[in-house]
Structure 1
Amino acid sequence: MTSSHTQRRGLAAKSAARTTQNETLTAAGRAGFIARGVVYALIGALAIQIALGSGGESADRQGALAQVAAQPFGKVMLWAMVVGFGCMALWRASRAILDRGPQRKAASRVLDGGRAVFYASVCWATATYAAGGGQGSSGNSQSKDWTASVLELPYGQVLVGAGGCLLIGIGGVLAVRAAMRRFLKQLDTGSMSQRTKQVVTGLGVGGGVSRGVVFAAAGIFILVAAIRFDPDEAKGVDATLRSFTQTPMGPWLLVAVAIGLILFGVFSFASARWRRL
């Protein structure tokens, strides 16, 4: 066997391995978007029930998981979501570590790394919920406990305030990027019909803006907790959404935001289909 033949076989093997890796990571990313879509759609549905005065579960991730658990084969569905969030963490981590093309900026890799850590924590929390039957404190209690713990640290008030400002900034960026339709660059719009593209664009804009509003509102409450040195001012997703009913628009603002969160859930399903991974 000649040396050149051996080299060709080696290159072919590497190419096949790379293709398999890419296909695996692509499947992982799509599974992650589906899991994300389920959670956001359920949170939006729970928020609508709260606005209409018939809400029983918290309108946050824990409430969404409780809704899933109550369904037939709920445990199976919960573990499927664990796999989905784990896949999303894996995909984000691979983009942070492996994707080092000339167009990938260092800031983008850092953001993907942060998202990988976030989805890994969501995966762990979902697995804990699925294994333990859902016991644990609510998201609102956790937010207050975390805020109280940080406030006790040296410069804790500054740290909490910085965290609130960061969350407000993230919410603003999410809303602005959605309004500017920046997400379309990440989708394979060429394979969509014109009608499908219009629908997906509407889902992305409406859903992304609502998601950003929720992030920013939660950040405002954390900032207020820092200013007043009162951890009880911090709110989780559920309490943040409920606070919208206390505005002059009453429950209708919560309905509007909730519909937006449902739209973002559906947009996540569309991302699972058309996202360039």
Structure 2
Amino acid sequence: MTASVAHNNAKHVGRQAAGHSLFHKLCRAGLAARGVLYLLIGWLAVQIGLGDSGEEADKKGALQTVAEKPGGTVMLWLLVLGFLGLALWRFSEAAFGQPLPDGQKATKRLASFGRGIFYTAGFVTMLSFVLGQGSNSSNEQSKTWTARAMEHTGGRWLVLAVGIGFIAWGVGNVVGAVRRKFLEKLKLGQMSPRTKPVVKTLGVVGRSARGIVFGAVGVFLAHAAIKFDPDKAKGLDGTLREFAGTAAGPWLLVAVAIGLLTFGAYSFCEARWRKVEAVR
């Protein structure tokens, strides 16, 4: 068997797997898991804005909250499985294209690959937590990664590039939300006339809030690279707390947190109506 034949066979098997109904269910389970995570992070951020500085408003804080509840271990494993589904779904889009009219474009597939890496990192973090290996807060992870990167030649520029990437991703989310581009990814025909405006509102508000937050994360990473100071980097929790330190005070953090709660609710809409089928 030649290398080209083996490659074609592997691609055929991969396409069949990506087109299987069980894989689609796993993708939708992942979107629901994302919704749960953002609901928890948003709620923790609301509490911080109202004066409770308890759990971090990030993955670690959300996972810790779940772990403390009855049946928490089972729920944690479901979240782990869901994020594995998210990662595999995005990598399948990178390999075969997004289910959109222009989904075969290199830029679209590259974007899916980047999101696949992002969700893989989330999956690894969750798995480590569930297996009892602990998990650092997003602030600690961000500062540690930035410091390690800067130890190497060109690491400073890598951190700057990642920061710019987060800023671009954040801006893209906000612009896409305002322009309602996300509706192209949904099965609108399956929604009732009353459901469509609700989903549209949740998407605009939620996706905009998420874009603002991750854009801000990118700003702090870029600042750390420019100042050559890893301590300037902040994760999700640190970024959210910075909103409370603005002239608007903690109410800005509460507003952003409500936006993240909205994105969590919108994620359940995507779990129901998102186009997840691989391009044929």
Percent same amino acid among aligned pairs? 49
State whether residues 89 and 115 of structure 1, in contact with CA within 8 Å, keep that contact through their aligned partners in structure 2.
Answer: yes
Deviations, residues 170-217 of structure 1 (Å, cap 9, x unaligned) = 111111101111011111111212221111111100001100111111
Deviations, residues 149-171 of structure 1 (Å, cap 9, x unaligned) = 11221133222222212211111
State whether residues 28 and 90 of structure 1, in contact with CA within 8 Å, keep that contact through their aligned partners in structure 2.
Answer: no
Larger Rg belongs to = 1
| Deviates most, 104-113 or 58-67 | 104-113
Residue 117 (structure 1) aligned with residue 117 (structure 2): yes
Q: 5 Å matches for 1:47-196?
A: 47-99=45-97, 103=102, 104-132=104-132, 135-196=134-195
Deviations, residues 18-44 of structure 1 (Å, cap 9, x unaligned) = 599431221121011011111111100
TM-score scaled to structure 1, two decimals? 0.89
1:137: Cα distance to partner?
2.2
Residue 197 (structure 1) aligned with residue 196 (structure 2): yes
State whether residues 157 and 226 of structure 1, in contact with CA within 8 Å, keep that contact through their aligned partners in structure 2.
Answer: yes
Please tell me the root mean square deviation across aligned C-alpha atoms, in Å.
2.0
The 1:18–1:146 alpha-carbon spacing in structure 2 relative to 1, beyond 3 Å, is: closer
SS of structure 1 residue aligned to 2:152:
coil
Residue matched to 1:34: 32
Gaps of 5+ in 1: 1-13
Gaps of 5+ in 2: 1-11
SS of structure 2 residue aligned to 1:194:
coil
| Deviates most, 32-41 or 116-125 | 116-125
TM-score scaled to structure 2, two decimals? 0.88
State whether residues 125 and 135 of structure 2, in contact with CA within 8 Å, keep that contact through their aligned partners in structure 1.
Answer: no
Alignment: residue pair count: 261
Letter in 1 for 2:252: L
1:122: Cα distance to partner?
1.3
Deviations, residues 67-87 of structure 1 (Å, cap 9, x unaligned) = 111111000000011111111
The 1:188–1:228 alpha-carbon spacing in structure 2 relative to 1, beyond 3 Å, is: same
